Amino acid sequence: MISVVIITYNRKLLLKDCLNSVLGQNNCPDFEIIVVDNHSSDRTADLIRDNFRERLRLIPCETRLSLAEAKRLGLNACAGDIIAFTDDDCLAGKNWLKEINLTLSRNDFCGGPTLLKDISLPRWWNGSLNWMIGINTLPGVKFPPLGGNAAFRKYVLDRVEKDAPPRELLPYGEDNWRIRKALAAGFSLGINKDMVVYHQIPQKKLTLSFLFQRSAQEGRCLANYDKKTRDIAYNLFSIPANLLRSLFFLDLNRFFRMIVNLSYLINRLKRPKNER
């Protein structure tokens, strides 16, 4: 059986579409859905009770948790020997569960493309920016599948979660950490181009202002979670390196990585000396 884990927070309408996409699968194996409501204030629980009743299991959080903590709650409730993750703003392709089952018949964990849904990218958009809005059209080992489209045999997660990092795990690295850890442990990753989910991206995220804000927020998170002094030097060196690469190779991603570096340094220097 496949257990599908979805973490949600204040996205009840998007969540409804997501759940319908999972429940409407073609030729799918047995599955269950575990929804962890991360202390939503938009009456997400009422929507689930009114529309889905016994078709899924709802786990309400009494307080807001980190993504890692919320996922561990979901994992502890799973009964399946395969555990799949998707996001509350994603739509599963019609054969998503079927393709997961097929891929994991010969691999330990797997992932597939995360594509845009019913929206066009602006003309200035560079493909190197896709990951910043949760898009990965060609996942692989170098650029792993995103957490919203990944599935694991339970024994993989049993092994990986034993070495789970602290509860303050950086939000931007939670999914990548799990996949990297599974690869480091020697588990095989299967990439299936037909194992597709579609990310519902609001138009406001396809703007330069959003990318600036997101990059600055990532830098703040890194500064708050990180305690290694050597990373100050790394980020300081990375600013001119990323600037040059963005200018010479016209790589917008490197420009925004420079914003992350700057934000990291500014916020790190704001911290009291005893916390640096």
pLDDT tier at 143, thresholds 50, 70, 90: confident
CA 46 to chain centroid, in Å, comes to 25
Buried b (16+ CB within 10 A) or exposed e, 129-144: bbebbbbbeebeeeeb
260: closest CA among 221, 206, 210?
221
Note the pTM of the prediction, 2 decimals: 0.91
pLDDT at 56 over 70: yes
Count the neighbouring beta carbons within 10 Å of the beta carbon of residue 208: 11
Tell me whether residue 74 is exposed, middle or buried, using C-beta atoms within 10 angstroms of its C-beta: 0 to 12, 13 to 18, 19 or more. Answer: buried
- pLDDT above 90 covers a percentage of the chain that reads 75
Average pLDDT of the segment spanning 240-260: 93
pLDDT score of 66? 84
Interatomic CA distance for residues 82 and 245, integer angstroms: 41
Q: Which DSSP letter does residue 25 get?
A: -
**What average pLDDT does the segment 1-7 reach?**
98
In this model, does residue 229 exceed pLDDT 60? no
CA distance 151 to 137: 17
**Residue 228 scores a pLDDT above 80:** no
For the beta sheet containing 57-60, the strands, ordered from the edge strand earlier in sequence to the opposite edge, are 57-60, 31-37, 2-8, 82-87, 150-153, 109-111, 189-191
pLDDT digits (tens, 9 = 90+) for 144-194: 999 999 999 999 999 988 776 554 545 667 788 889 899 999 999 999 999
Q: If you average pLDDT over residues 128-141, what whole number do you get?
A: 92
Mean pLDDT of the chain: 91
- 3-state secondary structure (DSSP) of residue 263: helix
Beta carbons within 8 Å of 36's beta carbon, 6+ residues apart: 5, 6, 7, 8, 59, 61, 70, 71, 73, 74
Q: What are phi and psi of 92, to 5 degrees?
A: -75, 135
Question: What confidence tier does 243 reach under pLDDT thresholds 50, 70, 90?
Answer: very high
Number of Cβ within 10 Å of residue 81's Cβ equals 12
CB 75 within 8 A of CB 154: no
Phi then psi for residue 152, to 5 deg, are: -135, 145
Q: What is the pLDDT of residues 62-92, one digit of tens each?
A: 999 888 889 999 999 999 999 999 999 999 9
